[in-house]
Amino acid sequence: MKPTTFWEIERAKSRAARILFLIFFPFFTLSMLGLFYLLKFFWGIFRGGGFWEFLLISSLISLALYFMAKAGAKREKILDFLASLKAQKPDLQDLKHKQVQNVVREMAIAASVREPEVYIIPVLARNAFSAFDIIAITEGAVSSLERDELQAVVAHEMAHYLRGDSYYKGIISTFIMAISALLGASLFLSGANKNRDRERRGGWAWDFIIVAIYLYLISLMARLLNAAISRKMEELADARAVQFTRNPLALASALYKVSRDRVRGLASFASPALSSLFIVPPNVSSLDEGHGLLSNLFSTHPPTRKRIANLLNLAHADWNTLRQRAVKKRPKGDFWVEREGKWIGPFTLEELFEKTWLKEGVKVKGKEGVFIFGPQFLQKFTRTQGNCPRCGGPLFETHYQFVPVIKCGRCGGILVREDRAMKLIARGENLVTSQEIELSREEAKRAKKKLVSGGANPKTVDPSAPLKCPFCGRPMERKFFNFVTYTPVDFCPKCRYYFFDGGELETIIAGLKRIDSLYK
């Protein structure tokens, strides 16, 4: 139980590099040695070379590759990757993001290290990764995890950070890439020389094929080695995370939630080279969750079920506990609202404003009596600003699942800053009903029909006059928010605000959820 501290990070890095040297260096060197013998045998290249000459050259190649990889394993590359995903620092006005930032700070203290940088990736997939001193969490994970679960995920990533695992993984992937490049070259040459051999021997280019098979076996072994080490790293990081948080149940529960929503990773947002950095593999494959020999050998992560079982064992808990935790708890408010002659509730103010059917004129019962929902109610309970671009109703500031938005009190339209729009959709996931999913299906169908006849133009779906941005007064652009639901939304390119008509947000959320359920 030796806690690693800030001063030990450098040493952990060199320790990781040492493992690499111990295993990969001789492995790669011997592979090159074998390749030289094959070259000599088939084509008489380096004819004069003996064992020692070959060994020397192979060692020099591995060494050069090692230093190249070391120079190439740069945090700028990770920052580029994050930038390509439009990842951003946490939005501190959003309570959930604030929580992430706080949790990272707490874990940095638990591990006594300098605080790493945090990024939030605006995708719905639930995942997290770390590389160098960067920790990145997806919006989907942030939205679905409770505070202690976020803490556990961050602790897991912090453990990788401490051990310098990403640094090691970066170097090893360079070696694997080098082998693959050689393999590719030999396959290409075997194809290119096929005709040559047909003339000469009337057959396949056997020499090239044998070299290709040899290289293929080498790359297979390299992958096996890499997967074995990577699995060990994940197990160690899980253990270290528990040491930091002293809360194995939270990590088990986080893994449970994260692994149950991987369908969204269908369009994987990470390249395979980076996928071993994530807490669960971002592209679902039966390999990773299987129990057979193949998955035991080739997967870069231990089966999530096994990881969870280990943690549950530590926590003296069972799977039922996890299922219960997955049910979301919400605070109780004290507003009741009349709907179809019945009082329903209680809702908090925020929950109330999340209802799309809450329009002007609806009766709302609070502690201070009965109100009619409208401008006066809004003035009393919220901060109002400006008028709705769609209906001219009063706009007010509110939160939609902790995301700051501006909402219209009359038509339910929502204005949201561009960088918060994806977040809004991730958060809204828990709110849509099956009825809304049904509606969204109908709407998408209608939109598609119109598109077929009228061309791919958002104006054919929503032909109303362009809206004026409530902040700058310029006309807004109409565009499709995505090509799943074909929902036309309005966007102000100057203020960078989206306007969703009342119910449109739910259509989009439900549409994505519907896609999701197709793959379950």
Report how far residue 469's alpha carbon sits from residue 364's, in angstroms, rounded to the nearest whole number.
Answer: 30
- Closest of 293, 286, 301 to residue 229, by C-alpha: 301
- Closest of 349, 356, 344 to residue 333, by C-alpha: 349
Residue 59 interacting with another protein (CB under 8 A): no
- Which of 68, 109, 266, 294 lies at the binding interface for another protein (CB under 8 A)? 109
Q: Please, what is the minimum distance in Å from the beta carbon of residue 102 to another protein?
A: 4
Going 465 to 470 to 472 to 476, the CA torsion angle's sign is negative
Phi and psi at 244, nearest 5°, equal -75, -45
Residue 203 interacting with another protein (CB under 8 A): no
Closest CB to another protein among 3 and 454? 3
Q: Are 437 and 514 in contact (CB under 8 A)?
A: yes
Residue 15 interacting with another protein (CB under 8 A): no
Residue 399 interacting with another protein (CB under 8 A): yes
Region 143-162 residues binding another protein, contact defined as CB under 8 A: 146-147, 151
- Which of 13, 40, 75, 105 lies at the binding interface for another protein (CB under 8 A)? 105
- Which of 5, 271, 285, 376 lies at the binding interface for another protein (CB under 8 A)? 5
Report how far residue 234's alpha carbon sits from residue 232's, in angstroms, rounded to the nearest whole number.
Answer: 5
Q: Following CA atoms 140, 145, 147, 150 in sequence, which dihedral angle do they give, to the nearest 10 degrees?
A: -70
Residue 72 interacting with another protein (CB under 8 A): no
Q: Please, what is the minimum distance in Å from the beta carbon of residue 252 to another protein?
A: 18
Q: Please, what is the minimum distance in Å from the beta carbon of residue 351 to another protein?
A: 8
Please identify, among the stretches 20-28, 266-274, 346-354, 510-518, the one whose residues bind another protein according to the rule CB under 8 A. Answer: 346-354
Residue 2 interacting with another protein (CB under 8 A): yes
Q: How many chain residues touch another protein (CB under 8 A)?
A: 34
Closest CB to another protein among 91 and 504? 91
- Closest of 120, 116, 126 to residue 157, by C-alpha: 116
Report how far residue 182's alpha carbon sits from residue 197's, in angstroms, rounded to the nearest whole number.
Answer: 21
Region 305-344 residues binding another protein, contact defined as CB under 8 A: 329-334
- Which of 111, 250, 489, 512 lies at the binding interface for another protein (CB under 8 A)? 111
Which residue is listed with tokens 């948080």?
A: 245
Residue 382 interacting with another protein (CB under 8 A): no
Q: Please identify every residue annotated as catalytic.
A: 157
Q: Are 494 and 472 in contact (CB under 8 A)?
A: yes
Q: At what angle do helices 248-259 and 304-315 cross, to 10 degrees?
A: 150
Question: Which ranges of 246-318 does DSSP label H, i.e. alpha helix?
Answer: 248-259, 272-275, 286-289, 293-298, 304-315
Residue 11 interacting with another protein (CB under 8 A): no
Enumerate binding residues for another protein (CB under 8 A): 1-3, 5, 7, 95, 98-99, 102-103, 105-107, 109-112, 146-147, 151, 244, 246, 329-334, 346, 348-350, 367, 399
